Chains A and B, each alone.
Chain A
Amino acid sequence: MADEVILLDFWPSMFGMRCRLALAEKGVKYEYKEEDLKNKSDLLLRMNPVHKKIPVLVHNGKPVCESLIILQYIEETWPDRCPLLPSDPYQRAQARFWADYIDKKFYGLGRKVWTTKGEEQEVAKKELIEIMKVLEGELGDKPFFGGEKLGFVDVAIVPFSTWFYAYEMCGNFSIEAECPKLIAWTKRCLEIETVSKSLVDPHKVYDFILQLKKALGIE
């Protein structure tokens, strides 16, 4: 029986991009369904009744929610192609730790950078840079977080880089000036075809943010 794989997603979502990238790495054919978050489909509400959020991976009718959980599901369901996690349990634990770190720290601060002004924004910018520096420390001299090639942590973080331009414009700062190693890593990732095809254009993300700010009444 052929696999039926559907991804319920929203084009600028970094969480959705993680799934697109993992599926591309694994060479899994799937149907991409764009959701209108102001008018969520019945399918989304049925597939994710608890959170009502994207991304949702629907595999042969069964839904998997939460992007890092989806990544692990993809990894475990299609284990032979392009492993994203190492085989050693300790290294797997480290990969899970850093992916969890991103989710705990990054998203909230990034959001503050484009939604706030003044002192609150300055604090958010400073903290965001600190987190990026921690990530640079973890990257070290390796070409990728996964070592010689793209791994779980790379897939978890690289979609956030599509929002860097928007953060910089809204926050009036340069991420590259503060974290050149991290930017070098994102450029290295973008040289990989699956990455450049799965990630969206940062300028389009910025336009989207500007529209969203208008709609939310944020200057």
Chain B
Amino acid sequence: MGEELKLFGVWGSPFSRRIEIALKIKGVEYEYLEEDIFHNKSALLLKYNPVHKKIPVLVHNGKPIAESQVILEYIDETWNDNPILPRDPYKRAMARFWAKFIDEKCVPAIWKSFMSGGPEREKANEEACELLSTLEGELKGKKFFGGETVGFVDIVASFIGHWVGPFQEAVGVDLLTEDKFPMLCKWAEEFKNCPVIKENLPPRDKILAFFKAQLEMLTSFYKNRV
């Protein structure tokens, strides 16, 4: 039976791009379906992810998988070439730990830093810096979080590597700078220069234009988020 693989995503979402990167690393063909996530979710999306109603959703031979880190692990277990997670249980636990740290701590703190105003912003900025500092410490002079090649944590960190730059430019906040985070910035360059990554990230100027145009909408979306 031919494999049928569909990915429901949003062009600018770092979460759905993670999945595209992983599928490209594995050399797997898929059909991409763009969702209008802010205004008009498709009936199919709501059918495949009734619990969270979010993207990305991967549908493999009619069976849906939701939540980007769950999808990444599924992809790694289904297609064994070019592993994304290490084989050793301890190293896997470390990769999962840092991926969770990024998604549950760094990403929300960065959003808060960009979406807050006044004195609240300064405090949020400080917190985000502390977290980024901890993350930078984990790089420990490695080329990638995964070592010599891009791995699970690098893929999850793509928000920091590629979206934070244009986001902070649109908002007018200096968060991720070379003088504050030299190793993270170096990592970001290495990461974005990998062919499989470069070809699968949305253009920087398009992201910047989106953030600039949609700042008001994003702020209200952020304030009302479930």
Say yes or no: A92-B89 contact (C-beta < 8 A), given A97-B66, A97-B67: no
In the complex, number of A-B residue pairs with CB atoms less than 8 Å apart: 54
Cα–Cα, bound, A77→B90 (Å): 8
Interface-located stretch among B23-31, B94-102, B154-162: B94-102
Residues of B within 8 A of A64 (CB): 90, 93, 97
Residues of B within 8 A of A70 (CB): 93
Contacting pair A73 B90 (CB below 8 A): yes
Contacting pair A89 B89 (CB below 8 A): no
Instruction: Tell me if B134 is interfacial: C-beta within 8 Å of chain A.
Output: yes
Task: Report the minimal beta-carbon distance from B52 to chain A, rounded to whole angstroms.
Answer: 8
Residues of A within 8 A of B101 (CB): 50
Task: Report the minimal beta-carbon distance from B117 to chain A, rounded to whole angstroms.
Answer: 25
Contacting pair A90 B74 (CB below 8 A): yes
Contacting pair A90 B90 (CB below 8 A): no
Interface residues in B51-100 (C-beta closer than 8 Å to A): 51, 60, 63, 65-67, 69-71, 73-74, 77-78, 89-90, 92-93, 96-97, 100
The winner among B77, B78, B93, B100 for most chain A CB atoms within 10 A is B93
Say yes or no: A90-B73 contact (C-beta < 8 A), given A73-B93, A134-B51: no
Residues of A within 8 A of B63 (CB): 90
Chain A interface size band reads 20 to 34
Contacting pair A72 B93 (CB below 8 A): yes
Contacting pair B97 A69 (CB below 8 A): yes
Residues of B within 8 A of A72 (CB): 92-93, 96
Contacting pair B65 A66 (CB below 8 A): no
Say yes or no: A96-B90 contact (C-beta < 8 A), given A69-B96, A69-B100: no
Contacting pair B92 A89 (CB below 8 A): no
Chain B residues packing against A (C-beta within 8 Å): 51, 60, 63, 65-67, 69-71, 73-74, 77-78, 89-90, 92-93, 96-97, 100-101, 134
Pick 22 A–B contacts, CB within 8 A, sort by A: A59-B90, A62-B90, A64-B93, A64-B97, A66-B100, A69-B93, A69-B96, A72-B93, A72-B96, A73-B89, A76-B89, A89-B74, A89-B77, A90-B65, A92-B73, A92-B74, A92-B77, A93-B70, A97-B65, A97-B70, A100-B67, A101-B51
